[in-house]
């Protein structure tokens, strides 16, 4: 069964596929801020996603970032499953087999998509050939051309995760991102970015395009190709079929913008504790615009870990993280400070979280049970190319009174937000911008993202109160000495402190 054949009845067959219960998705629509700080949505949401599981231990996840409409992202999110979940994959296949099937699936889906718009493209070409002739029908023809252009335009970027035989495969096309956070056997927490975005900042992509005869210096200087920063994308017929009409791409010997996924070496997941994140470009760009790109991965992982510690639902975790990024982005814009100009708008945002042997919180935590989050600002290095370790201050889940807490040092930051004096934990991160997989690690009692919280919460007394978190005895003593005259005139029977 081809993807094209299934696209007409996808509403029935994909609804019958079992959703993965170890996964949660959070989303937010695009937003443009006005002078008053209020946001408005400038176009319908163009992102898409899927999250399926099968009885034979196969799991499939994807996040799709559409542009110029949602047609392509919707088509791919529906039809890619037909190329991967209808018996093509099984536990007996080798890594080579899996990589071949993934690559073939992307190729078939894009070809199927172009088949669906061929009639519209033919009509568009016919009308364009007639348009120069002045006639009473010219206006109607122009309007029809606009409708057809809207119908056939658009494309999508994709990041797809496949778990088979306890191994993780990531297939990436474009600028979405995959992060794997896992607790290592030595007690450190590692954050791995699997793959690099396909842009003109990717040296491997520039070498590929140079091999087709394109001017690398011009590509690097332009940054954007036919309206998008990605050098790989699904759909977008203009750069696939009319690239010779685009000055930047006209010298290419063959199609320079492709939909072939880059598939990284599989990651073993046996015994791994942690989580996998799939993020759309809009989510990544919003966080990077607000706080800079240097430690965006570590900050995203810290937010997810914090929400996992207090939420009982993965759906709630993912949505809370997206909302936190949205608030960070808006607050930077409203501050009018250094990064405000870069935060005037953000695109659609999607976050998919898949836990790996990770136990969720009970979902009903109070401050006495150790579930309160104390967010803090995250310092960044001013030298993104540096390979030295930098200190990243993360949000920390406060333990119960029976637990322990080790505070990290709130290091100097190039953020222009104020210093937060909340308890913090420190993550030591190693950055290497040239590597395909960037990693970071944390250690120590205060740095573990996976540290178990204390289980013994403070119990209420007979009046329903719990012991205070802060000892106000010194405050009340000083306050009493400053107001002794007033207290003396009112009588000393009124005790200090809350009654």
pLDDT at 105: 97
pLDDT band at residue 143 using 50, 70 and 90 as cut-offs = confident
Express as a percent the part of the chain with pLDDT over 70. Answer: 68
Q: Which of 55-59, 82-86, 486-490 has the highest mean pLDDT?
A: 82-86
Q: Is pLDDT above 80 for 103?
A: yes
> What pLDDT score does 210 carry?
96
- pLDDT tens digit sequence for 347-381: 999 999 999 998 887 654 433 333 333 333 333 33
Q: What's phi and psi for 138, nearest 5 deg?
A: -60, -40
| Predicted confidence (pLDDT) at residue 402 exceeds the cutoff of 60 | no
Higher pLDDT, residue 14 or 22: 22
Residue 337 in this model has a pLDDT that exceeds 80: yes
pLDDT interval class at 126 (50, 70, 90): confident
Give the mean pLDDT of 204-220. 96
pLDDT at site 452: 45
**Is 70 exceeded by the pLDDT of residue 22?**
yes
Give tens-digit pLDDT for 308-330: 999 989 999 999 999 999 999 99
249-258 per-position pLDDT tens digit: 999 999 999 9
Predicted pLDDT at 420: 36
| pTM across the whole model | 0.74
pLDDT at 3 over 80: no
Range 397-411 average pLDDT: 31
Q: What is the distance of C-alpha 123 from the center of its chain?
A: 39
Q: State the pLDDT at residue 37.
A: 87
Q: From CA 454, how far away is CA 76, in angstroms rounded?
A: 45
131 vs 117: which has the higher pLDDT: 117
464 pLDDT more than 70: no
> What pLDDT is stored for residue 475 in this prediction?
67
Could you tell me what percent of the chain has a pLDDT over 90? Answer: 54
- What pLDDT sits at residue 467? 65
pLDDT value for 413: 33
Average pLDDT, the chain: 78
Residue 227 pLDDT grade (very low, low, confident, very high; cuts 50, 70, 90): very high
């Amino acid at each position: 069964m081809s993807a094209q054949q299934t696209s007409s009845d996808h509403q029935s067959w994909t609804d019958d596929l079992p959703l993965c219960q170890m996964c949660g998705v959070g989303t937010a629509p695009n937003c443009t801020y006005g002078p008053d700080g209020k946001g408005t949505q400038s176009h319908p949401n163009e992102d898409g996603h899927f999250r399926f599981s099968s009885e034979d231990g196969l799991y499939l996840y994807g996040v799709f970032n559409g542009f110029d409409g949602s047609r392509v992202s919707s088509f791919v999110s529906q039809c890619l499953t037909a190329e991967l979940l209808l018996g093509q994959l099984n536990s007996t296949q080798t890594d080579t087999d899996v990589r071949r099937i993934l690559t073939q699936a992307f190729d078939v889906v894009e070809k199927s998509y172009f088949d669906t718009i061929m009639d519209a493209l033919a009509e568009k070409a016919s009308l364009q050939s007639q348009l120069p002739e002045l006639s009473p029908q010219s206006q109607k023809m122009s309007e029809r051309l606009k409708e057809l252009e809207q119908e056939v335009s658009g494309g999508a970027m994709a990041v797809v995760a496949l778990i088979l035989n306890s191994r993780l495969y990531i297939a990436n096309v474009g600028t979405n991102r995959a992060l794997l956070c896992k607790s290592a056997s030595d007690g450190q927490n590692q954050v791995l970015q699997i793959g690099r975005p396909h842009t003109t900042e990717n040296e491997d992509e520039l070498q590929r395009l140079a091999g087709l005869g394109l001017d690398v210096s011009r590509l690097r200087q332009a940054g954007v190709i036919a309206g998008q920063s990605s050098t790989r994308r699904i759909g977008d017929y203009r750069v696939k079929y009319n690239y010779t009409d685009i000055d930047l791409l006209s010298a290419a010997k063959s199609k320079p913008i492709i939909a072939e996924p880059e598939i990284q070496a599989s990651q073993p997941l046996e015994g791994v504790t942690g989580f996998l994140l799939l993020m759309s470009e809009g989510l990544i760009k919003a966080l990077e615009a607000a706080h800079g790109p240097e430690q965006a991965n570590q900050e995203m992982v810290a937010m997810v870990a914090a929400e996992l510690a207090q939420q009982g639902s993965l759906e709630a975790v993912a949505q809370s993280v997206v909302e936190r990024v949205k608030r960070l982005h808006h607050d930077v814009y409203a501050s009018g400070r250094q990064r405000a100009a870069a935060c005037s708008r953000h695109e659609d945002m999607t976050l998919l979280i898949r836990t790996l042997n990770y136990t969720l919180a009970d979902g009903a935590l109070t401050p006495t049970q150790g579930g309160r989050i104390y967010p803090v600002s995250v310092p960044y290095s001013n030298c993104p190319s540096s390979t030295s370790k930098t200190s990243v201050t993360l949000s920390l889940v406060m333990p119960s009174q029976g637990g322990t807490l080790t505070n990290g040092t709130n290091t100097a930051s190039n953020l222009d937000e104020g210093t937060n004096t909340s308890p913090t934990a420190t993550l030591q991160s190693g950055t290497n911008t040239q590597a395909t997989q960037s990693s970071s690690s944390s250690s120590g009692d205060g740095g573990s993202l996976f540290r178990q919280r204390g289980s013994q919460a403070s119990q209420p007394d007979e009046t329903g109160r719990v012991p205070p978190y802060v000892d106000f005895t010194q405050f009340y003593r000083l306050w009493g000495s400053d107001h002794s005259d007033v207290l003396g005139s009112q009588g000393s029977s009124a005790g200090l402190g809350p009654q």
